[in-house]
Chain A
């Protein structure tokens, strides 16, 4: 049987305060992460992603449930697990006055690296994450993107078999986000490790992850590949038409397979069901549905027609309801 990177059963976690009632953050999470996959944890803010990642990495403990990480029981082998995993936290923070190289050196020492091996690991990560020009820059002077790169570089210092990335692109500009995603893909490919990444950016999950789990209010509400999730939720395709002239909007709305419709002067957006209902199957269904829409534009001139596939953003919105 193949060893799983993470095997969690019935994980429950709540935070207590001195005066308030305990707030339940995770309510019975069952989750397996396969070895070698990039697994995505999706969900809105406060859904429990950071807490779950922190529990998987043994930074904090669950109140209930069992957890096995890389085949090791998290109750009895915390030290061994910590040697084999690492984490890049959301909003990365490090001792302010230490430079990039000094921070990597410090954390390398905490993992028991020494001598030339330590020097080499620092140099390797600085090179791998293109931090050469900032090697001697203090953490407090780094940009958000550089702090994020340093955070992932730190997380690679012990060559983990399982890497946790908590919102690795939060606060980054689009270009830096793209570079960070490429970096994650490269690490996964070259180091051949398992990765658990939490994010609330849907395109990121769609681009990176083999499978994703949606968390909502501390529960997993969906778990599958990004493609299957889109299929399972029967999210419709959006057909946007810009036109001149007149269109019979009520007729359009009552067409078989039309799930919803929005319109304004000179434009209409039709949400078409992907599951059938009198529209045929596969390409036929799509063609029939589209043909049916176009037939209703005989009194108008179509200026532009766009078909938009549903993305994980739509899944997210659907599941976050």
Chain B
């Protein structure tokens, strides 16, 4: 198959997510309403508590990271969620596609939507709370976003695996997993305040390291970006491998048929 044909297999998921999102009024809520609510609540809280400027940046980075993570991860999960909700999952898996075609296409669209949300939130937080996201230049912003998007892709893959393993009930994972990330990866507080067991868990999450790296620009401190990058790459490869296994298992158990009924 030509490279254009192969490329289109990746873009198919992005195309479906794009059309579906464009026609869904609730996209406005996903892209604007909830992100703004999240940012404004945290921003106003920092004003009410009169926290120092460094802490404002700490909290706003966390709020924005969480929002982008939620937007981008749901786009990866949507690649199977839309199919499951419309009972059309058979049609996807009868085609000669692999897990990476589905995930990368959807992740591409997630990156696009996540970037739009980031630009909006960065602009609003600058206007309302005087926070400058480009203080360390453009490169740290891009590295930070890359880390958040990689983490989002991993969560999205876990949701897809859950759907293929446990069926319809697993869609709750799409919204629950980012809550777990909120708790342990240092979104609103440093991971050092967590109990030792959760700290150990936090150290297994790439987002923890990317948050530390980006925050070190505003509040100088140590970071282990390389560890975060390694973990992100490792989880992505592992996630795709496990997703392929989950698809094979779904073909063996016949859950693909049940998800289409």
Interface residues of A (CB under 8 A from B): 13, 15-16, 50-51, 54, 57-61, 63, 79-80, 82-83, 85-87, 89, 91, 93-98, 102, 105-107, 109-115, 118, 138-139, 154
Contacts and interface: CB of A to CB of B under 8 A. Distances in A.
Contacts of B138: none
Contacts of B47: none
Nearest to B87: A93
A95 B88 contact: yes
Contact of B86 (A16, A86, A93): A93
Given A16-B253, A79-B96, 13 more contacts: A50-B257, A51-B254, A89-B260, A91-B87, A93-B91, A94-B86, A95-B82, A106-B16, A109-B8, A110-B101, A112-B1, A112-B5, A112-B6
B253 to A, nearest CB: 7
A136 to B, nearest CB: 12
A63 B15 CA distance: 35
A144 to B, nearest CB: 14
A63 B251 CA distance: 10
A98 B16 contact: yes
B5 to A, nearest CB: 3
A97 B251 contact: no
Given A59-B256, A98-B20, A106-B15, A93 B88 contact: yes
Contacts of A83: 96
12 contacts: A54-B257, A63-B252, A85-B94, A87-B90, A95-B82, A97-B24, A98-B20, A107-B95, A109-B9, A110-B97, A112-B1, A114-B2
A182 to B, nearest CB: 24
B132 interface: no
Interface centre among B19, B94, B256 (most CB of A within 10 A): B94
B93 interface: yes
A59 B251 contact: yes
A171 to B, nearest CB: 15
A56 B164 CA distance: 21
Interface in B1-19: 1-2, 4-9, 11-12, 15-16, 19
Interface of B: 1-2, 4-9, 11-12, 15-16, 19-20, 23-24, 82-83, 86-88, 90-97, 101, 251-254, 256-257, 260-261
B96 A82 contact: yes
A91 B95 CA distance: 18
Given A15-B253, A110-B97, A112-B96, A97 B20 contact: yes
A57 B15 contact: no
Contacts of B101: 110
Contacts of A51: 254, 257
B96 A96 contact: no
A95 B86 contact: yes
Nearest to A89: B90
Contacts of B4: 114-115
A interface majority secondary structure: mixed
Contacts of A95: 16, 19-20, 82-83, 86, 88
A183 B156 CA distance: 41
B8 A112 contact: yes
Contact of A111 (B15, B96, B254): B96
Contacts of A85: 94
A113 B253 contact: no
B170 to A, nearest CB: 14
Given A51-B254, A106-B12, A109-B12, A98 B19 contact: yes
Counting from the closest, the 7 A-B pairs by CB-CB distance are A112-B5, A109-B12, A110-B95, A82-B96, A93-B87, A114-B4, A114-B8
B5 A154 contact: no
Nearest to B85: A96
Contacts of B97: 110
B94 A57 contact: yes
Contacts of A91: 87, 261
Contact of A61 (B8, B12, B251, B260): B251
A63 B252 CA distance: 7
B6 A110 contact: no
Contacts of A82: 94-96
A110 B86 contact: no
A210 B93 CA distance: 29
A312 to B, nearest CB: 27
A57 to B, nearest CB: 6
Contact of A110 (B12, B251, B253): B12
Contacts of B2: 112, 114
A87 B88 contact: no
A138 B19 CA distance: 11
Contacts of B23: 97, 138
B94 A87 contact: yes
A59 B15 contact: no
Given A95-B88, A113-B5, A102 B254 contact: no
Contacts of B11: 109
A16 B249 CA distance: 12
A304 B167 CA distance: 59
Contacts of A138: 23
B149 to A, nearest CB: 23
